[in-house]
Amino acid sequence: MVITPKTRITGNRAAMTDTAFREVKDRLRVELVDLQQRCRAAAAFPIIIVVSGVQGAGGVDTLNLLNTWMDPRWIHTHAVDAPSDEERERPLFWRYWRSLPAAGNIGLYLDGWYGDAVAAHCRGHTTAAAFAQHLKRIAAFERTLADNGALIVKLWLNLDKNGQRRKVDEHRVDPVFGFRASDTAWPQSAPYDTFTAVAAKSRRATSTTQSPWHVIDGTDDNYRRASVLTILRDAIKAHRKSWRKKSKAAAKDIKHARKHDKKKGLLKTNRSGALAKLDLSKTMGPADYARAFRTCQTQLYELQKAARAVGLSSVIAFEGADAAGKGGAIRRLTYSLSARNYRVVPIAAPNDDERAHHYLWRFWRHVGRAGHMILFDRTWYGRVLVERVEHLITKEAWERSYSEINDFEAQLSEHGAVVLKFWLQIDPHEQLRRFKEREETPYKKWKITADDWRNRAKWDYYEAAVNDMVAATSTKHAPWHLIPANDKRYARIMIMNCVIEALERALHEQKAVAKTRASRRPKE
């Protein structure tokens, strides 16, 4: 609760006279607009504002007024409606990811990502455990955004039961603003007691230092508005300060790490990981390959058709040393797929729109609709590979990324998608041979750049990073498949077989689920 000298407190209700409000309002507005402009000009971090609360407490009014008080051109307002079919065909959080503001902008959300969770539990559609799980996901979502620099301000507008009864019928003209949209377009998902109990649980589970809930009494409009402005101003001020401090510290860390590399050689760790155990001598003869290839193709063709028919999506990630044969493997894999069912997404350096967002944002954007297979040629693992090895981010940042990535993949998997990850490994001699071959073949020359030679010089450090990555992100729902790729034929067939197995299993499980659901369906 925000107490100003002009606030009258009666019980747990607070009020402010029109005159008192007029006095503070204009000063606060000027400060806020000024802060908004500074944030926009710096484009350092996005601002995410969640407005929620009980009906009648002024949620819709708060949204409208923030758009009026600040510069609406840099505010994207989202009142979360029923999901579109494009949204329903992806994990729940896809719609929130796609709506996130770019650095320097404000995303203003009515109920934010809480609406779904609270409504479903109020209506008895989710168990206590599922609700708790949903809240954990929300907390993880907010943590990953905040860790990446976002400012998150969450406002809960409160009314007690009697207060709400009075407010809901109240349709008076506002004395200060002359006009006010009422909250009737913002229905509550359950009666007061149920709703507030469930909502309180959601707030308790998601109030963190980085993204705390602010509870504001909504009985008095003036008081509520002044509180919103004050909280926002203070939060932006504080965040700018801490952001600058953190950026400085990060820059220092990175500089230090680079210096250390130069002096003592790159930091080597974890040389005894999964890669060491890989048998790179595996090969496959041309005749065996031709036979296996033919069989795999037919199977893949049938499986993708079946997957498309039932709406089974897949996300297939390809990583590997330079010249390990990712592109060739992808082409062989897609050879027998129908082009309508898959899409190859090449990942290079982010463009400026992508740089203005969380690093996972651009991968979320590419998540496909039901029944599609998305093949990533290089992936979100760049975060813990090149960005780590080249010290583009701090150690703390790439270490944190493991769990963020696991959470991303878990969401894909929970929504029913097949998630497969391939690491293609070759040895340094084979890489050198392929580099030279590329340089000598006219139509392959474009494939080899100075970056490739630079990365090659850091072979050991990439190996350490890969070992760490595999250890930290091999999960049940999204395991790493390490592919010995010195022999291209062997690697390609191994990858095709992995995909076949995964699709077969998923289709089988989906049928099993459908069967169980059918037998459990209550009589109507």
The binding site for a copy of itself (CB under 8 A) comprises: 30, 33-34, 37, 41, 60, 63-64, 66-68, 71-77, 79, 84-86, 108, 110, 178-179, 181, 185, 293-294, 297-298, 301, 327, 330-331, 334-340, 343-346, 351-353, 377, 442-443, 446
* Least CB distance to a copy of itself at residue 73 (A): 4
274, 478 Cβ separation under 8 angstroms: no
Alpha-carbon distance of 228 to 98, in angstroms, equals 26
Chain centroid, CA 455 distance in Å: 28
Closer residue to a copy of itself (CB): 37 or 475: 37
273, 466 Cβ separation under 8 angstroms: yes
Closer residue to a copy of itself (CB): 23 or 427: 23
* Least CB distance to a copy of itself at residue 74 (A): 7
* Least CB distance to a copy of itself at residue 221 (A): 16
* Least CB distance to a copy of itself at residue 202 (A): 21
Closer residue to a copy of itself (CB): 60 or 502: 60
Distances in whole angstroms, Cα of residue 77 to Cα of each of 60, 73, 248: 11, 10, 32
* Least CB distance to a copy of itself at residue 450 (A): 15
The candidate with the shortest Cα–Cα distance to 317, out of 133, 517, 498, is 498
Closer residue to a copy of itself (CB): 272 or 338: 338
* Least CB distance to a copy of itself at residue 343 (A): 7
Closer residue to a copy of itself (CB): 21 or 461: 21
Residue 112 CB coordination number (10 Å): 23
* Least CB distance to a copy of itself at residue 188 (A): 16
Chain centroid, CA 79 distance in Å: 19
Neighbouring residues of 258: CB distance < 8 A, sequence distance ≥ 6: 391
> Residue length, the chain?
524
Closer residue to a copy of itself (CB): 337 or 419: 337
* Least CB distance to a copy of itself at residue 449 (A): 11
Alpha-carbon distance of 60 to 182, in angstroms, equals 7
* Least CB distance to a copy of itself at residue 352 (A): 5
Closer residue to a copy of itself (CB): 282 or 355: 355
Closer residue to a copy of itself (CB): 72 or 428: 72
* Least CB distance to a copy of itself at residue 118 (A): 18
Closer residue to a copy of itself (CB): 30 or 251: 30
* Least CB distance to a copy of itself at residue 40 (A): 9
Closer residue to a copy of itself (CB): 182 or 270: 182
Cα-flanking dihedrals φ and ψ of residue 117, to 5°? -65, -45
The candidate with the shortest Cα–Cα distance to 466, out of 376, 350, 381, 524, is 381
Report, in angstroms and rounded to the nearest whole number, the Rg of the chain calculated over CA atoms.
Answer: 27
Residue written as tokens 């999960």? 475
Beta strands in 38-183 (DSSP E): 47-53, 75-79, 106-110, 151-158
DSSP letter for 3, please: -
The candidate with the shortest Cα–Cα distance to 400, out of 267, 250, 209, is 250
User: How is the beta sheet containing 314-320 ordered, strand by strand?
Assistant: 342-346, 373-377, 314-320, 418-425, 480-484
Pair of tokens at residue 320: 């590997």
- For residues 392-417, one letter each, b for 16 or more C-beta atoms within 10 angstroms of the residue's C-beta and e for the rest, the string is ebbeebbebbbebbbbbbbbbbebbb
Closer residue to a copy of itself (CB): 139 or 168: 168
Closer residue to a copy of itself (CB): 87 or 160: 87
* Least CB distance to a copy of itself at residue 334 (A): 6
DSSP string, 346-396: E--S--HHHHTS-TTHHHHHHPPPTT-EEEEES-GGGGGTHHHHTTSS-HH
318, 330 Cβ separation under 8 angstroms: yes
